[in-house]
Every structure is written in C-alpha cells, then in structure tokens.
Chain A
Amino acid sequence: MKKYVLDFRITENVKLHDNYALLKLTPADGQPLPEMLPGQFVEVRVDRSPSTFLRRPISINFVDYTQNELWLLIRIAGEGTRTLCGMQAGEILNLVLPLGSTFTLPENPTEKLLLVGGGVGIAPMLYWGKYLKEKGYTPHFLLGFRSDKDLLQYDQFCQLGEVSISTEDGSRGEKGFVTQHSILEQHFDRLYVCGPKPMMVAVARYAREHGLFCEVSLENTMACGVGACLCCVEDTVEGHVCVCKEGPIFNIEKLKWQI
C-alpha cells in the first residue's frame, strides 16, 4: 500500500472533553484521500512544540471518503498531543500515511464480532466498525470508560451497531471493566481490541480461555513509523518485530504476553 507525506487542512477541531480533541482533516491540495484501512495509523508532525522532536503516531479514527475527511481522535498525553489538540480549523498538519497493518476481515459475514475499545483506544474501532458494516458484517461494540463524562463518540458508534458500555464507576452502562461486562456471556467468534495494555491483556486472556480469535492494537513508543529505526519492537514468536510495520494489529497468538 503506497505511503504518502501530505499536508492536511484542519476543517474542524471538536473538543470532546478537557483531555480529548477530534481533528477533522482534509488534504490541503484538495486531492482525494489516499486509500486507508482500519487499524492503520498516521504520523503527525508537531510544528509548534519546542520540546516535541518526533512525529506523533495517531490511529485513524474515521475516514469519510464522501466528505474527503480523515478524523483523528487525540488524547492529551504530553506536550506534543497538547499542541495538536489546541490547533484550530484552517491550520495545516503534515502527515505521513497510511502506516501499519489492518485488522483481519472474517471469512464469513455471519460471524459474531465484538469490537472492544477502552478510553482513547476506541479510536480505530469506529472506522473498523464502519468498514465491517459496509461489507455486510454486524459489528457489536463494547466500550469502556472511567465514567459517564469520559464517553467518546457514542452516537457515531450507535449508527454502526449495538453498543455496550462499561464504566469503572458505574455512572453509565455496567459497572466495572470491559471484561466484567455481561455481553461476554454471549457467544462471539472474534474479538478486536484496542485500549490500555492491562485491558488488552485481560481481554486476550478471556479470548484464550474461550478459544476465540483475538486481535489487539499495540502502541509501542515509536520514531520512524515505517520499520526503519527498529525502536518500537514487540517481542513475538517470530522475535522482535516493528509495531509500526508488522503491527500495530497483532493476533494474540503471535505475542509473548503473559496471558
């Protein structure tokens, strides 16, 4: 899949909460968006943060080819992401994209699919859910947040399939972690997971116990984003591999996690 270095114009910065922004972007030259797959990411150059040297890898949250828009859901984690979240409509961002691997499409559209997202880890699940729906699959979403006020993109998810919510304080949906949600009493064939590592490990453990197919999206600290620097490696059954190139989507059977 061809990769590009492109300038994008911010069409809208939607402040979701104090710590999150949704940046809607369109190619600055007006050209159509390149092909991008769910699970892939972009590397964003941060121009106005003196302490930020490297690009920031950000999941593709949504691609709207009719509006020619790419959405990035960004959590403020440090100075780089703080700068990005503070940018205004009309400003330009330089992106390298699309990077990394995609989720595995099930062979059979009748398979029961659970897309699990935690916190900002819900980001790739929106585009993956849309992609699945367009291909005739029926995704079910299980989204976990700290509390009701941390909920992200609930309405958008509801347009794509059934949505189950877990909150740690019980202020919305079921109380507890996603792995404690009653939806897991139902049968699913495949689990796709993105979120904090302890959450992904817990879901991977559930998948392992039930013999389910499970893919997770990793976010190891990276520099180049294209498999050149070998900084973001994950230890797998095939040795150290780059999360930016062989990942970020991995089948749990490939990982050497203690699960």
Chain B
Amino acid sequence: MADLKVNIGALSLKNPVMTASGTFGYGEEFADFIDLSRLGGVIVKGTTLHHREGNPYPRMAETPAGMLNAVGLQNKGVDYFIEHIYPRIKDIDTHFLVNVSGASVEDYVATAEKIAALNRIPAIELNISCPNVKEGGMAFGTSCKSAAAVVRAVREAYPKTLIVKLSPNVTDITEIARAVEAEGADAVSLINTLLGMAIDAQRRRPVLSTVTGGLSGACVKPIALRMVWQTYHAVKIPIVGLGGIMNATDAIEFLLAGASAIEVGTANFIDPQISEKIVSGIDEYLDKNHISSVKELIGGLII
C-alpha cells in the first residue's frame, strides 16, 4: 500500500481525491453509496452570504460527453449552512471544505469570516469563476485586478487554507493564477466550467433559461489538463485539478500535469461511487508501478 497523503498548503489530505462543489451536495446525498471517510475531502455546494434561489428551470442540457448547467448558486445561505448542515457533517472523518461565492467583495469576506469560525472546516475554496450568476462569480475571476482585489480582502479575513477556484473563460489562466498567488492564496483549483450554450433547433430557442451555461464532464478534460499543466509552470503554490475526471486514470493524468490533488465532479452523476473507486484506482496504480508515494506523481510528466 502506497502513501496517498498529499498537502495543499497547511492542509493535509489522506489522499488526493476530493469531490467538486455543486456535484456532491453536502456529502450526505452519497452516504448510501460510498464510505465518505475514504475521500481526501468533500467540497460542499457553493455558499453565499444570503439565501439564493438560483436560476429558473431549465438549468441543464446534456451534451455529447458532458453537460451544461445554469444552476446559479442556489443555496440557503451561510447561516443556514452553519446552523443546519454543519452539525450533521462535522463528525464525518474527512475534510469538508466550503466553496464560497459572492456578489461583492464584502459578501465574500463576510461569508469567509463566518466559515473561519467552524473548527471542522479547514479550508475554503473561493469561487471567483461561476459562469451562471449576473453579479460577482466569474466577473471577479476574469481579470487579474478584480481577482487580486477579492483574494486580498478574503486573505486578510481568513486565516486557514485559502484555495481560489479559477475560471477557464479567460485568455490566459496563468496570469490570474499568478495574481491570486501574489495576494496570498494558498492554492488554486482549476478549472470551473467552460461557458457554453445549447439550442433546441425544433423550437428555435435556447435550452437553458439563462441561454448560456457552464460545460462540464468528460469533454472538458483535455482543456483542463492543459490549463493545469500551464499553471503548474507559472506558480509555486499547489494546484487542485479538476475538469472531466471520470476515472482513476484521468485523475493520475492531472497529478502528472502538476496537480497536488484532484476533484471529481460531473462523474458523480453517472457513478455515485466513482470518487471512492478513484481512490482505490490511484492506490492500485502506485502499487503496480512500485511508487511509494503519490507525491512522486505530482508534476511527474515526462517530456
């Protein structure tokens, strides 16, 4: 059995496999299917300062090898999370990270401060990359200046591990990564969904209520891998890689490209047990190749 432990800044994970925000609820939804304690971490649904109803239905369109979503950060707000959800999940033996989003810098800061007070939440993933909200979200993550401003403000208010989730909908993701690194981010996670669109030709109308939405699933993997690899060569902080990871081999590819940990997202919808299978699959790969620690894979791409 190889050593599966990895580090994201000060945060130590028992293995590199986490579940991506918005694809795994609060973990509880999958407790019938897997042993949550076998995961490196669970990143819970995007949380905002206030309750959000999200976008109108329809919010989803299937695509070849993927799907578009336009959920729009539906959640009951950070206070509801603290009062009702946190007590239910805090004793599960894995790391729960909270994905934090907001419509203004002040919102991000206020939400992060509230989460900082929770003993069992060791890190947040700052979502500056949601493509499905009118205000905030991706607007912060598509310019170096605004990304830096929000990370600077949250960094001052949040002492634990700060992971910043980046948008692929930019000209050069490495510039944004460098900008948030300079403001004290402990890590970056990438990629959030790619902005896409679906049309119903019969009705001559968009499929999604918001016209555009975020593309995820197997189809985005090559883009995500490329961006992780580029970012790995641009920053010194650890990278959490995600985007189209459907199995253990995909996960290993992200580690080789430079990710210190990975997130499994849309694949949870097709196989609710896939996250645990990926943990086992990485372990088997290491044993088979006589590699003693998964850390040896990180950035281990041979060119």
Residues of A within 8 A of B (CB): 2-5, 45, 50-55, 96, 220-235, 239-240, 245
Contact, CB under 8 Å: B25 / A3: no
Using an 8 Å CB-CB cutoff, how does the interface string of B45-82 with A read, 1 for contact, 0 for none?
10000000110111111111111010100100000000
How many whole Å from B274's CB to the nearest CB in chain A?
A: 10
Q: Would you list 11 pairs from A and B whose C-beta atoms are within 8 A, ordered by A residue?
A: A3-B32, A53-B62, A53-B66, A55-B270, A221-B60, A228-B29, A228-B268, A230-B45, A233-B57, A235-B57, A245-B29
Which of B33, B45, B65, B266 interacts with A3 by CB under 8 Å? B33
List the A residue with the shortest CB-CB distance to B72: A230
Using an 8 Å CB-CB cutoff, how does the interface string of B164-183 with A read, 1 for contact, 0 for none?
00000000000000000000
Contact, CB under 8 Å: B74 / A229: no
List the B residue with the shortest CB-CB distance to A224: B269
- In the bound assembly, the distance between CA atoms of A234 and B266 in angstroms comes to 21
Using an 8 Å CB-CB cutoff, how does the interface string of B3-25 with A read, 1 for contact, 0 for none?
00000000000000000001111
Contact, CB under 8 Å: B272 / A96: yes
- In the bound assembly, the distance between CA atoms of A30 and B125 in angstroms comes to 44
Residues of B within 8 Å of A239, CB to CB, are: 53
- In the bound assembly, the distance between CA atoms of A5 and B271 in angstroms comes to 8
Residues of B within 8 A of A (CB): 22-25, 29-30, 32-33, 45, 53-54, 56-67, 69, 71, 74, 217-218, 266, 268-273
Contact, CB under 8 Å: A53 / B218: yes
- In the bound assembly, the distance between CA atoms of A5 and B69 in angstroms comes to 24
Contact, CB under 8 Å: A230 / B74: yes
Q: Beyond A53-B65, A54-B62, A234-B57, is A226–B71 a contact (Cβ under 8 Å)? A: no
Q: Beyond A53-B270, A96-B272, is A240–B53 a contact (Cβ under 8 Å)? A: yes
Q: Beyond A221-B60, A232-B60, is A226–B271 a contact (Cβ under 8 Å)? A: no
Residues of A within 8 Å of B74, CB to CB, are: 230, 233, 240
Contact, CB under 8 Å: B57 / A226: no
Contact, CB under 8 Å: B57 / A227: no
Residues of B within 8 Å of A230, CB to CB, are: 22, 45, 54, 59, 71, 74
- In the bound assembly, the distance between CA atoms of A230 and B63 in angstroms comes to 18
- In the bound assembly, the distance between CA atoms of A239 and B54 in angstroms comes to 10
Q: Beyond A229-B69, A230-B71, is A45–B24 a contact (Cβ under 8 Å)? A: no
List the A residue with the shortest CB-CB distance to B24: A228
- In the bound assembly, the distance between CA atoms of A229 and B58 in angstroms comes to 13
Residues of B within 8 Å of A3, CB to CB, are: 32-33
How many whole Å from B209's CB to the nearest CB in chain A?
A: 11
Rank and list the top 9 A-B pairs by shortest CB-CB distance, nearest first. Answer: A231-B60, A228-B25, A3-B32, A224-B269, A226-B29, A228-B29, A223-B269, A231-B59, A230-B71
List the B residue with the shortest CB-CB distance to A50: B64
Residues of A within 8 Å of B217, CB to CB, are: 53
- In the bound assembly, the distance between CA atoms of A188 and B186 in angstroms comes to 64
Contact, CB under 8 Å: A45 / B270: yes
Residues of B within 8 Å of A233, CB to CB, are: 54, 57, 59, 74
Residues of A within 8 Å of B23, CB to CB, are: 224, 228-229
Residues of A within 8 Å of B30, CB to CB, are: 226, 228
List the B residue with the shortest CB-CB distance to A226: B29
- In the bound assembly, the distance between CA atoms of A2 and B65 in angstroms comes to 29
- In the bound assembly, the distance between CA atoms of A222 and B60 in angstroms comes to 7
- In the bound assembly, the distance between CA atoms of A53 and B64 in angstroms comes to 6
- In the bound assembly, the distance between CA atoms of A227 and B268 in angstroms comes to 12
Q: Beyond A227-B29, A239-B53, A240-B54, is A55–B59 a contact (Cβ under 8 Å)? A: no
- In the bound assembly, the distance between CA atoms of A233 and B218 in angstroms comes to 24
List the B residue with the shortest CB-CB distance to A51: B64
How many whole Å from B57's CB to the nearest CB in chain A?
A: 5
Residues of A within 8 Å of B29, CB to CB, are: 224, 226-228, 245
Q: Beyond A53-B217, A54-B62, A222-B60, is A229–B54 a contact (Cβ under 8 Å)? A: no
List the A residue with the shortest CB-CB distance to B25: A228
Residues of A within 8 Å of B63, CB to CB, are: 53
Which of A54, A55, A231, A235 interacts with B71 by CB under 8 Å? A231
Contact, CB under 8 Å: A223 / B65: no
Contact, CB under 8 Å: B273 / A5: yes
Contact, CB under 8 Å: B270 / A54: yes
Supply 18 further A-B pairs (C-beta < 8 A) apart from A52-B62, A226-B25, A228-B24: A5-B271, A53-B64, A53-B65, A53-B67, A53-B218, A54-B67, A221-B58, A223-B60, A223-B69, A228-B30, A229-B69, A230-B22, A230-B45, A230-B71, A231-B71, A232-B59, A233-B57, A234-B57
Which of B25, B62, B67, B270 interacts with A227 by CB under 8 Å? B25
How many whole Å from B92's CB to the nearest CB in chain A?
A: 16
